[in-house]
Amino acid sequence: QVQLQQSGPRLVKPSETLSLSCSVSGGSISSHYWSWIRQSAGKGLEWIGRAAPSGDIIYNPSLTSRVTMSVDTSKNQLSLKLSSVTAADTAIYYCARDLRGGGGEWPDWGQGTLVTVS
Amino acid sequence: DFQLTQSPSSLSASVGDRVTITCRAGQAINIYLNWYQQKPGNAPNLLIYAASTLQTGVPSRFSGSRSGTDFTLTISSLQPEDFATYFCQQSYTTPHTFGQGTKLEMK
């Protein structure tokens, strides 16, 4: 079974860049689609974007000007960067694996990282 | 963005009860509606995808159905471990969007 382990700073200053990683074990990162999702008290659950095995990446239009996702196949690792953060970006951030080729159903999730912008 | 409206926002029930949660899509999304359960401190857990397909390992007391743009999650006989928050989510198009959640509490 695929397991996802997240890492990254839990406190980010306003206007700086949030950076998170998600290490994948139990499967090849090249075989699946991957998403980042966040959850905040104010906005609930919000899909951030998705990376395909082909390398294609799509973002939520509400975040596209500030977000960068990448996939490092040599490390079997995903990454997320969100620039110019504000308090509104305070949330629990999750990485997740698609059940079936970009279908947008997520059976496997990372443990979540609470990132506070302050 | 596709809007999903979940109801009720909270629900009190007892062990053994039959519980129904509804999610209405603002536009047609075919069968592309999924249900998650979330317990405090944990990531969401996929219960049902494509409106009515039970995810592997999920107890059969959970079921999903669709009527047009209305989707329903049913728990046939509540167990103590089912008290949690439930979310619907559409995978018809990006950006994928979620309902606001239904908190299921013990009566």
Question: Rounded to an integer, what distance in angstroms lies between the CA atom of residue A48 and that of residue A61?
Answer: 9
Residues 6+ away with beta carbon under 8 Å from B94: A47, A50, A58, A60, A104
The band of B55, judged by pLDDT with boundaries at 50, 70 and 90, is very high
Q: Is the pLDDT of residue A55 over 90?
A: no
| Average pLDDT taken over every residue of chain B | 97
Contact list in A for residue B50 (CB cut-off 8 A) is: 105
What are B22-42's pLDDT values in tens digits?
999 999 999 999 999 999 999
Which of A46, A94, A105 shows the shortest C-beta gap to B43? A94
Contact A62/B at CB under 8 A = yes
> Is B94 in contact with A60 (Cβ distance < 8 A)?
yes
Q: Do residue B43 and residue A44 have CB atoms under 8 angstroms apart?
A: no
Q: What are phi and psi of B91, to 5 degrees?
A: -115, 20
